[in-house]
Amino acid sequence: MKKLVLGLSATAFIASVAFAQEPAASSDRTRMAAADTAVFAKLDTDQDGRVSAIEAAGDSKVAAGFTAADTDKDGYLSKAEFANLGKTSSSRDSGAAPRSESSAPDTDSATSPER
């Protein structure tokens, strides 16, 4: 009986810890979205609801990713394009570095000429 009570208590404790951590992740996303909105508003100096390349020059990270983020190629970042700017750069940064076309090809004994 004691083992059953201890087991249920441990399960309840673990479940409460798991549920307690979910709002933290949600609040992190909310804070990041609020930060994106604040940065967008700061860069949108003419307050037309979009960020031009000239306005993007005020933030080096936005300027560096501007062309790739401007998916409709109209010369402006909409709020949606701006929001995706951080997502694409973070996924690009976390992956392995792409192989340069100018790098030397891999060689193995099957394709190299015999000497």
Query: Residue for token digits 């003419």?
Result: 46
- Interacting residues of 38 by C-beta distance below 8 A, sequence separation 6+: none
**Cα 82 from Cα 63, distance rounded (Å):** 11
C-alpha angle with apex 58: 78 to 49, nearest 5 degrees? 25
Which pair of structure tokens corresponds to residue 98? 């792409």
Q: What is the pLDDT along the chain (115 residues), one digit of tens a residue?
A: 766 655 666 566 565 655 555 555 566 777 777 778 889 999 999 999 999 999 999 999 999 999 999 999 999 999 999 988 867 555 444 444 444 444 445 555 555 555 5
As a whole number of Å, the end-to-end CA separation of the chain is 78
CATH architecture of 10-91: Orthogonal Bundle (1.10)
- Interacting residues of 71 by C-beta distance below 8 A, sequence separation 6+: 81, 84
pTM of the entire structure?
Answer: 0.53
Which pair of structure tokens corresponds to residue 4? 């059953």
Longest pairwise C-alpha distance within the chain: 78
